[in-house]
Chain A
Amino acid sequence: MKKVIAIAVVAASVGVASAQDKIVIDGSTTVGPIAKAFAEYFMAAHSEVNVTVSESGSGNGAKGLLNGTCDVGDMSRPMKDGEFKACAEKGIQPVAHVVALDGLPILVHPSNPVKDLTVEQVRKIYLGEITNWKEVGGPDMAIVSISRDTNSGTYETFEGMVMNKQKIHEGCEYVGSNGAVRQRVQSTPAAIGYAGLGFVDKTVKALKVNGVFPSAETVQSGEYPIARPLFMYTNGYPKLGTPLYQFITIYLSEDGQEMVEEKGFIPVTAY
């Protein structure tokens, strides 16, 4: 028994000693693909550091940073006043790193002939005022609207930029991740949904909004109306030279830019 305790004590102390060799990332499912790519890239060069990524929504990214349970909080929306305040009270200083830009494409099933909607029309669809595709030039199908859950930064972006803080109608279906939005849309001909740019593939169709197609150019130039930066938040700016510092600055490198681009998002750098 003594032996077991001794081993446990040694194990625990080693565990404490190696506590700096981990970077825990939590938060937005939109930022997830970027974080995962960065994590793998980082671990290829620093095999001694374990970078873990979980995707549970922007709200949880903020909460994780607040409770000190993660080193990096991924968020697809800026922190809110309340979150800042809670952090300040706990002595945590959230520092935002804008790692990429993202448009919020409005997605429909590829069999849907509708190509173009205005922000006004999208809002009316989500308010429940437009309920059939034929009202916006489509076939006679009842619209199935799909939204992200309210813990999501994507939802809050949508709520702010499209809904003008008006309430989404009650028949709307809420799903928990970008991938789930895509799956729901690709399997439902009458569906409409929204997700991050990196989640668009050929199984769903992105619409023009106000006549502008979401692309790197139109998002960067501000022409595409529903766009936002993607953040990684840290507690203070990481100490220079630490693994966390090296990780959080990957997006500034040329390789980081390539990863962001290849994952379908828009880099903030231009090499």
Chain B
Amino acid sequence: MRLETRKLLDKAFSGFGLIAIVIMALALVFILAPIVSRGSKAFVFKGTIEHRRVMLELFDRGNVDKFHKERDEVGKAREPIYAMMAEFEAKTLELETSIETTLDEIKNEDRNLRKEVSRLKKVTPRDDVLIAELEARREQFKTREAELKAQRSELDDTRSAPYEELKDTVEELFGPIPGDKTPVLVRQRYGQTRWDRSLIKLHELLYTEEWDYSSPDGIGVKVETPRSELFAGTCLEPLFSYTEENIPQMMRPRTTFYWQFITDVSKGDNFFGGIWPAVLGTIYLTLGSMIFAIPMGVIAAIYLCEYAKEGRVISFLRVCISTLAGVPSIVFGLFGLAFFLNTIHVSSSKSVLAGSLTLSLLILPTIIRSAEEAILAVPRSYKEAAFGLGAGRWRTVLTVILPAALPGILTGVVISMGRAAGETAPIIFTAAVSVGLPLKIWETMTEPTPALPWNIYNLCTEHEAVDEIRHVQYGMVLTLVAIVLILNLFAIFMRARISKKLRG
């Protein structure tokens, strides 16, 4: 090969390498940037008065006097809305009762007339003229009744039905109307806790959404009309401009640092509070899997490197381990369910224990392989020197080989820890639930737990109101990524320290 070609190939190769690295870095940025920017909104956001109400009432946090003062001010700002709504309600009721009373009157008179007619019909001689006159009046009543009924249904359509819709949006924005019964669902006891969500709800309050299907291709177009048009001419008409103008006074947005998002339990189906049960569950599962996997993995590696005699059985075992590393994680999940739960019954239901065992099987191959590599990388001279000094095999392994291999083993452990923390499939059937309390350490033996990877998936596919709580989902993602990152950093730090110490 000519020198030029070789040089060219060389350059092309390094060029490709560089491109690959750049692409990877970009991918990392593209993945991490949204996670960080959106996830941080779970921690830092503009919180409204409702957020502070939640904190105070559900988590006992915050200054009561300051809150009461603010609540009173906000109450004043919101009062005109409730007053307008009460007036509208009263007016509707008045209209309804007036229609009802007239209807009742007509029915009464009609009944009297009917009696009169039937009485007159029995009297001889029959006064046919009078009877006809009365019948005619009854006919009039009938048309009047039909008219009133039409009025009543019109009242329903034009006042009651739109009002109910409006009331729902007001309740969603500001929480239950003062004086109403406290809702049973925690979610409905408070208004919007976040300013960004408040603005979306405000928009829903100001505009109604309809779909217009008149376009020629037959595909509907969303049309928004101001809700105030529905209430034109009524006492509710000013409500909309008032709400739009005074929304800051009614919600009091303030930049809030909610770092307790990680350590608070969730309330109202993840609507309020934090993600502590899931964080704790993830920590338990990760540590639990380590407790089982590290001893088993390291001992297996020592056996394979130091004790086992190379032969068919051992190479077959090695193939098995490599294959195990490539088995899809869902298979481990199903195995965990079938073996740990349904066959040997490590716990009566799903539990952290069963999940940890399953996860430990999943990461075992990685740990064995990395520990093996690390042990093999220990220079032969170390071993020979130890033997030369009269140390037995067991002692050599324990005091010479293992310490020297520790950094390498730790690397494997770190990689597996990150994997165990983020793995979803093995815990679906063995440990994870969508709702549960944070567990005490001894409860992990018998009880299942929420866990971050599963709850992220569960929130985005199964929660019936996921669009309202996207920030929780992103907050979970960020927390999970951060946990894995911190674990890794910690282990890298440990590894650096140990190898420094070893080098002396």
Contacts and interface: CB of A to CB of B under 8 A. Distances in A.
Interface of A: 10-12, 14-16, 18-19, 22, 24, 26, 29, 32-33, 36-37, 39-41, 43-44, 50-56, 67-71, 110-113, 134, 138-141, 176-180, 183, 189, 198-199, 201-203, 205, 255, 258-259, 262-264
26 contacts: A11-B441, A12-B442, A15-B444, A24-B350, A26-B350, A26-B433, A29-B462, A32-B434, A33-B464, A39-B435, A41-B184, A52-B433, A52-B435, A53-B435, A54-B350, A55-B458, A67-B341, A71-B349, A112-B219, A112-B220, A139-B219, A141-B219, A178-B464, A179-B462, A189-B219, A262-B183
A65 to B, nearest CB: 11
B435 A179 contact: no
A12 B445 contact: yes
Contact of B348 (A54, A69, A198): A69
B367 to A, nearest CB: 21
B461 A179 contact: yes
Which of B184, B446, B447 has the most A CB atoms < 10 Å from its CB? B184
B399 interface: no
A262 B342 contact: no
Contacts of A41: 184
Interface string B423-449: 000001100111111010111111111
Interface stretch (B93-101, B210-218, B380-388): B210-218
Interface of B: 183-186, 188, 209, 211, 213, 217-222, 267-269, 341-342, 348-350, 428-429, 432-437, 439, 441-450, 458, 460-467
B211 A40 contact: no
Contacts of B220: 110-113
B436 A19 contact: no
Contacts of A262: 183-185, 188
Nearest to A177: B462
B350 A69 contact: yes
B446 A54 contact: no
Contacts of B184: 41, 255, 258-259, 262
A177 B458 CA distance: 9
Contact of B436 (A29, A50, A179, A183): A50
B433 A198 contact: no
A264 B469 CA distance: 18
B55 to A, nearest CB: 17
A53 B219 contact: no
B433 A53 contact: yes
Contacts of B428: 56
A36 B219 contact: no
A1 B435 CA distance: 36
Contacts of B188: 262
